[in-house]
A and B are shown apart, each in its own frame.
Chain A
């Protein structure tokens, strides 16, 4: 029990903070909104971390998949569906579309996958602009209402933020469980050396496909939740810059760690809002932060901290470095 509590202690602290922040800021809608967007960003960064951090793929079509889910959910809700059912259908549909679009790219690795995902993202953005009758094109869809609870009762700002908090906490817990499972270990093996993984009997394509589907579900659920929260979506809400922004949170915080992307999102998501009065220097601060992390902490904040902690301990292999055993 003790081990269990200590293992899940960071999750408990995070859950407490995630639920407390919307309540703390319930009196100030502006700050509460920043909290809500930050929670969504944590959910997205956590999903992208499964691909970028654990599988070694940089999915630049991430925002596009979130967008497909958002538009499907909006459309189905407008047609009279319950938002939650629409979100479920929209998320699964978007993830499946993502897999179909991503199928050719899943055999690629590294830079080539990234390039292919960039093309896919561009195609999705163009589709959002082109299919005006579904997406209202560049004008976008506004006045998207907040959903009702399944039992009835309208969600307000603060209660919707608590829903965001719940799903974000679930997302982080799910990623932790996945990463610690055999599935997660297969993904890490693929990230480290996919050829060797294949030689050891791991079905690399299938595992990548599964990782891609699960990460797409994170993107999609985030996209479906985003639309009614902000109340407005357009193709710009889900363009490649959004993908890059989420990627930055993962890289900045520390890819391949559970808490790195969480930290990255918590630092970077509120920044544009907090620097709004200093819009002249906003981009400069953003850029300096990125350069600083790349130069000082190439493994990200949490990754760099972990490496420093490991370097502080005496290297375990120095003392044992004797003649070969045989």
Chain B
């Protein structure tokens, strides 16, 4: 079943073309990875799909309904949730209050046993009464995911979920995300190839706003054009 279908999306900022005729298609249950150099339009793509930006051209269907023109809060209510590249939690509020805030306007809120179970799974239960700003980056990243999961999204778009984490934490996050695949469909932007290689069922490559490749990770990561334009000799 098609969950997300973005067709011919073009986004320009003045004279700068951030996305040009990008097609993205994602099946329910399929983990889609997005890679590309800095400034290639990965985050812009997420911003367009989640209603933060209005593209000049294109159409986005989510779960069969058009998304363009709808506001971010309406898109969130439709079951499409996203995280941010730089971690974003309500730092002055406690972990518990952050979770409660995520539940306020969730159309299908997770029942409280489910919230407790998910928090336990993410290892955040002992931190419930701590101010979110006092959590470590790794804890904040998990809190971000927890705040999305209590809304039971159909699609979760993660923008660099392991950015800034240590290699041990990256390892642990990959394990968490691979378990997460059983709970909701994941769309993930990453620079860390390990994450893409282990998690993604399919990968798309954006370079300068254009999609240059789309396929299974093994095939894409050995594709000569992708290596030339993005990976080079370095494999993180």
How many A-B pairs have beta carbons closer than 8 Å: the answer is 86
- B85: interface (CB < 8 Å): no
B76 & A201 in contact (Cβ 8 Å cutoff): yes
Stretch from B2-10, B121-129, B223-231 contacting the other chain: B121-129
B59-99 CB mask vs A (1 if < 8 Å, else 0) is 00000000000011100110001101000111111000100
| Contact A316 B105, CB 8 Å, known A188-B93, A193-B90, A326-B175 | no
A306 is an interface residue with CB less than 8 A from chain B: no
Mark out the residues of chain A between 146 and 192 whose CB falls within 8 Å of any chain B CB in the assembled complex. 182, 185-186, 188-189, 192
Write out, one digit per residue, whether chain A residues 182-220 have a CB within 8 A of any chain B CB (1) or not (0): 100110110011011111111110000000000000000
Determine the chain A residues whose CB is within 8 A of the CB of B134 once the complex forms. Answer: 315, 317
A197 to B147, CA, bound (A): 11
In the bound complex, CA of A323 to CA of B32 (Å): 31
Contact A192 B90 (CB under 8 A): yes
Contacting pair B73 A202 (CB below 8 A): yes
Interface string of A296-326 (1 = CB under 8 A from B): 0000000000000000000111001000111
In the assembled complex, the CB of B111 is this many whole angstroms from the nearest CB of chain A, namely 17
With A196-B88, A202-B104: A320-B77 Cβ-Cβ less than 8 Å:
no
Q: Which residues of A contact B105 (CB under 8 A)?
A: 186, 200-203
Complex alpha-carbon distance, A90 and B89, angstroms: 41
User: Are A198's CB and B126's CB within 8 A?
Assistant: no
What's the nearest-Cβ distance from chain A to residue B215, in Å?
30
Whether B92 and A192, one on each chain, are in contact in the complex, defined by CB atoms closer than 8 angstroms, is yes
**Which residue on B lies nearest to A256, using beta carbons?**
B92
Is there an interface contact between A192 and B104, defined as CB atoms closer than 8 Å?
no
B106 contacts chain A at the CB level, 8 A cutoff: yes
Instruction: Check: B208 CB closer than 8 A to any chain A CB.
Output: no
A326 close to B81 (CB less than 8 A): no
Q: Whose C-beta in chain B lies nearest to the C-beta of A315?
A: B134
List, in ascending order, chain A residues with CB within 8 A of B147's CB: 200
Within the complex, what minimum Cβ distance (angstroms) separates A214 from chain B?
18
Binary flags per residue of B147-168, CB closer than 8 Å to A gives 1, else 0: 1000100000000000000000
Which residues of the other chain, B, contact A182 by a CB distance below 8 angstroms?
A: 104
A315 to B93, CA, bound (A): 15
A232 to B90, CA, bound (A): 46
With A198-B72, A325-B126 as known contacts, state yes or no: A192 contacts B91, CB within 8 Å.
yes
Q: Could you tell me if B107 and A326 are in contact, using CB atoms closer than 8 angstroms?
A: no
Q: A185-B100, A324-B136 are in contact. Are A199 and B72 (CB under 8 A)?
A: yes
Contact yes or no, B172 A200, CB < 8 A: no
B104 touches A316 (CB 8 A): no
Instruction: For B102, give the chain A residue with the smallest CB separation.
Output: A200
In the assembled complex, the CB of B103 is this many whole angstroms from the nearest CB of chain A, namely: 9
Q: Which residues of A contact B81 (CB under 8 A)?
A: 199
**Residues of B in contact with A (beta carbons under 8 Å apart):** 50, 71-73, 76-77, 81-82, 84, 88-93, 97, 100-102, 104-107, 122-124, 126-127, 129-131, 134-136, 138-139, 147, 151, 169, 172, 175-176
Extra 19 A-B pairs, beta carbons < 8 Å, given A200-B102, A201-B104:
A185-B101, A185-B104, A186-B105, A189-B90, A189-B104, A195-B88, A196-B90, A198-B76, A200-B105, A201-B76, A203-B105, A204-B73, A316-B130, A317-B127, A317-B134, A320-B127, A320-B130, A325-B126, A326-B122
The 5 tightest CB contacts between A and B, nearest first, are A325-B123, A201-B105, A201-B76, A192-B90, A317-B130
